[in-house]
Amino acid sequence: MYPFALERPATLAAAAEVVARGGQPMAGGQTLLASLKQRLANPELLVDLSGIAELQGIDCTPQRVTIGAMTRHQAVAAHAGVNATIPGLARLAGGIGDRQVRAMGTIGGSLANNDPSACYPSAVLALGATICTNRREIAAGDFFLGLYETALEPGELIVSVSFPVPQAAAYAKFKQPASRYAMVGVFVAKTSAGARVSVTGAASVVFRHAGLEAALTRDFSPAAVADVAVDTAGINADLHASAEYRAQLIRVQTQRAVQQALAG
């Protein structure tokens, strides 16, 4: 690990000022600390966001769930309001990594990092969430740009994520056994405007699948997607799974997610 200075601001304004001076923000540290230990990152100034109360907490109404950027995964999983309004989101959070990761990892850090196999981006995209920063509001469809790439500008910090409450929603993930990341994860949401389906782990960035959405909008049932074609173009192929296998997993995990959503 290379030497660095560390600051722990107590307010969002103070954090933004340090980041503007070139500081590297750190949320839960689940990716950044590993990169530092391997000397893959070399920030001169690290900005720990964990002490900022403005970035923490969960607010639930019948219409919307808003989660502070520094809220830990375990807090989302255990929150009674999230479990009552969007239980699929709570279950997603409870299935991230292991207990230690859930105790430290944050929703804001996950979204800012935008790992192609992370779970939260699928929920954000499928639910049509809004990412609120210290400068603006960004629609989910405009946020995820590519491999580890987001719409965040230099110095911009995620403050919270706002999820509209769907009629039903669920997440099904096929885990890579060692890392517990999603080889393929599918989040489905039934809304008044139709079904939304987003896929993580299968490509370089989270994406929605129009064919699956159309089938589920007509008939929100596992059987409705049994014969939907999933193109292998752009789908990952590696030592864990071929593109064809991942394409089949997308269809299977969609069926499982729909089944969970219908079960409540």
* 142 plus 198 within the same structural domain: no
Both 21 and 139 in a single domain?
yes
**pLDDT grade for 177, boundaries at 50, 70 and 90:** confident
Q: What is the domain extent for residue 109?
A: 5-164
pLDDT of residue 142: 98
Domain count of the fold of the chain:
2
For residues 133 and 174, membership in a common domain is answered with no
Last residue of a domain, one of 164, 186, 202: 164
Contact 176, 182 (CB under 8 A): yes
Are residue 146 and residue 203 in the same domain, yes or no? no
C-alpha 76/C-alpha 93 separation (Å) is 6
10 and 102, same domain (yes or no): yes
| Cβ–Cβ under 8 Å, residues 46 and 4 | yes
Residue 148's CATH number: 3.30.465.10
User: Which domain-ending residue is among 146, 164, 182?
Assistant: 164
Clarify whether residues 44 and 122 are in a common domain: yes
Distances (CA, A) of 207 to 7, 38, 92, 181, 186: 36, 30, 17, 16, 10
45 and 174: one domain?
A: no
| Pair 222, 160 in one domain | no
pLDDT at 2: 86
Give residue-wise pLDDT tens across range 44-72: 999 999 999 999 999 999 999 999 999 99
What CATH number corresponds to the domain at position 239? 3.30.390.50
CB contact burial 185-198 (16+ within 10 A = b; e otherwise): bbbbbbbeeebbbb
Indicate whether 91 and 195 sit together in one domain. Answer: no
- Tell me: do 195 and 108 sit in the same domain: no
Residues 176, 160 share a domain: no
Model's pTM, two decimal places?
0.95
- Residue whose tokens read 């970035």: 55
Of the three residues 110, 141, 164, the one that is the final residue of a domain is 164
CA distance 257 to 197: 10
What is the length of the chain?
264
15 & 132 share domain: yes
How many angstroms separate the CA atoms of 131 and 160, rounded?
Answer: 6
pLDDT in tens, 184-204: 999 999 999 999 999 999 999
The answer to whether residue 242 scores a pLDDT higher than 90 is yes
